[in-house]
Amino acid sequence: MMARRIQVAAAAAALLTGVTACSAPHGGTDDAGAADSLVIGVASEPDTLSPLLGYGKDGNSKIFDGLLARDTHLKLRPALAKALPKVTDSGLTYTYTLRDGVKFSDGEPLTSADVVFTYDTILDAKTNNASRTELDAVKDVRADGDDKVVFTLKYPYAPFAGRTVLPIVPEHIAKGQDPNTGAFNTEPVGTGPYVLSGWSKGEKLTLKANPHYWGGAPKVKKVTMAIVKDDDVRATRLRSGDLDGAVLPPNLAATFKNDGARKTYEAKTYDFRAVALPTANKVTGDRAIRQALDAAVDRRTMVDEILDGAGRPAYGPLPVDDPWFAQGIEREQDLAKARHILDRAGWKSGEDGIRAKDGQRASFTLLYPSGDKVRQDHALAYASDAKKTGIEVKAQSATWEVIEPRMKDTAVLAGFGNNGDPDYGLYTLLHSSLAGDGFNNMARYDSPVVDKALDTGRRSSDAAIRKAAYDSLQRELVKDPGYTFLTHIDHVYVLADHWDGLTTQVEPHEHGFASGPWWNLAAWEPKK
């Protein structure tokens, strides 16, 4: 999750310097409080609405559907497919039969050709989809008549079915366009419960219910996603009634605790904050420095003080309550251990208390996105912990336009995380073949042990073998950390109490626009 360019670019947009005015976007909140309309304040907007470039690839798009979808508990269920796939040929062939009578919002019928076109276009190297590696196992996609699609894999890939939540686009519209620059990126046509009725970049996206939706016409007829980058401004507008709901950091969500007209929803997540430590940097590339930082950090205090308890310490990329988590890798702050590691490696304290080795001071810059108070607080706490061991961390804010070209040799307070299967997030975060590939493997981490575990986990269909592989990976990250993992963050939402049917899922890093209590918006019912 992890760290794919489209997803992270959208998240990055959310973290740029916040707006300063509390006024609504022009015409953006006229429907707040209406019985059949909803205005939600979110921090970011997608760069594109085309699944061909990565939009909606993890499901929950309001405009599109995949062959499959996930329910509240992340269990796969049929969507555009009639049923879960038929798996044959020792896990190398997946056959889907399409649901009868599904139409795109322009009235044209869905066929197997649309599915084949979607996957073939994404797999085409000329398409700028940074998530292509997620479909690495696919050898061939073909239609078997109008209602069947057959995927042939290069190797057994246990979590493949989860990849087919990817939204399907209409061949009759998208085929004649350049997938990278065509109008479809901002004028999408899908089979989903909503259609796009307007998009003012940087201000709002407006969706209206698709009355011909195969799953039944939604009761919420109009949805406005108001783009409000600043956390405080979103909270103010929610309190004033200008918004019906918003994603908020825990400390601001807590101010609505006694508001009887609104409800707070917390979602457990795979979303973690970590410091990417690039190997090209003379300080962060030193294994002893990375080990010392891992021992020096006080994760529990970060959860308590920065997140107001809405999260968990991160001892690696997988949360502690995940079934794939490697038991026994939990560790508390140990400053004595950190100092011992540095002493043994030849990093000696100077007169100013900062260590040095062979003329190189143990000092580096840590960038964090402007306007993101939670990341800022993580960065400052990290710097404070590091200083106690003689390592100087200079925390600096910057926009993502400034951060991205510096990632190759400058530490970054980053956010990642994806749900569904460990392969979905860990491969792009850690595999050496993706080092420096946009936001993939930002630390340019290169470990033969981890690469082997990732390849084994990806290519094996045996659950026990996969579990052993991911256990070995997590234990190796403790020995040779390319990132300092800090916290897993709960996502918090506050909404007016006007509807029934709201639930949350265990969420990925990306949140607010697709994830949140509105993930199943089409199923909401007005309160009686």
Residue 131, domain CATH: 3.90.76.10
425 and 513 share one domain: no
Pair 40, 111 in one domain: no
For residue 345, give the CATH number of its domain.
3.10.105.10
Residue 515's pLDDT is 86
Residue 28 sits in a domain of what CATH number? Answer: 3.40.190.10
- Are residues 247 and 286 both part of a single domain? no
Residue 190 lies in a domain: no
pLDDT digits (tens, 9 = 90+) for 399-438: 999 999 999 999 999 999 998 899 999 999 999 999 988 8
Percent of the chain with pLDDT over 70: 94
Average pLDDT for residues 150-163, to the nearest whole number? 95
Decide if 35 is inside a domain: yes
d(CA 415, CA 378): 11
Q: Are residues 298 and 414 in the same domain?
A: yes
Mean pLDDT in residue range 168-178: 96
Identify whether 189 is part of a domain: no
The reported pLDDT for the residue numbered 167 is: 97
In a domain? residue 73: yes
| 246 shares a domain with 308 | no
Domain shared by 393 and 516, yes or no = no
| Cα angle value 306/309/310 (rounded, 5°) | 90
Tell me, what's the pLDDT at 17? 28
Q: Last residue of some domain: 159, 175, 191?
A: 175
What pLDDT is recorded for position 373? Answer: 85
Rounded mean pLDDT of 204-226?
A: 95
What is the DSSP code string of 67-81? SEEE-TT--EEESSB
Do 401 and 253 belong to one domain?
no
Amino acid at the residue 149: V
- Give DSSP secondary structure letters for 145-198: SSSEEEEEESS--TTHHHHTTSBP--HHHHTTS-TTTSGGGTS---SSSEEEEE
Low-confidence winner among 9-13, 67-71, 108-112, 485-489 (lowest mean pLDDT): 9-13
* 187, part of any domain: no
pLDDT at 23: 32
Closest CA to 135 of 115, 116, 153, 114: 153
Q: What confidence score (pLDDT) does residue 355 get?
A: 98
- Indicate the pLDDT class of residue 155, thresholds 50, 70 and 90: very high
- At 79, the pLDDT band (50, 70, 90 cuts) reads very high
Alpha-helical runs (H) found in 216-278: 231-240, 250-253
Is 249 exposed, middle or buried (CB count within 10 Å of its CB: 0-12, 13-18, 19+)? buried
- Please check whether residues 213 and 328 belong to one and the same domain: no
Query: Given pLDDT bands bounded at 50, 70 and 90, which one contains residue 25?
Result: very low
CA 291/CA 395 separation, integer angstroms: 19
* Cα dihedral 127→133→137→140 (10° resolution): 0
Q: What average pLDDT is seen over the chain?
A: 91
Report pTM.
0.87
Residue 191 lies in a domain: no
Asked if residue 182 belongs to a domain, the reply is no
Provide the domain limits for residue 408.
272-489
Domain count of the fold of the chain: 3
160 lies in the same domain as 207:
no
- For 354-371, the pLDDT digits (tens) are 999 999 999 999 999 987
Residue 227 has pLDDT above 80, yes or no: yes
What confidence category does residue 3 fall into, taking pLDDT thresholds of 50, 70 and 90? very low
Same domain, 87 and 112: yes
The per-residue pLDDT for 136 is 92
For 20, phi then psi, to 5°, come to -110, -15
pLDDT for 415 equals 94
Place of tokens 């990329």: 317
Residue 133's pLDDT band (boundaries 50, 70, 90)? confident
Range with the poorest average pLDDT among 1-15, 319-333, 507-521: 1-15
pLDDT of residue 520: 93
Domain contains 185: no
Same domain membership, residue 372 and residue 253 = no
Query: Does residue 290 share a domain with residue 377?
Result: yes
pLDDT digits (tens, 9 = 90+) for 54-68: 999 998 899 999 999
Tell me, what's the pLDDT at 33? 66
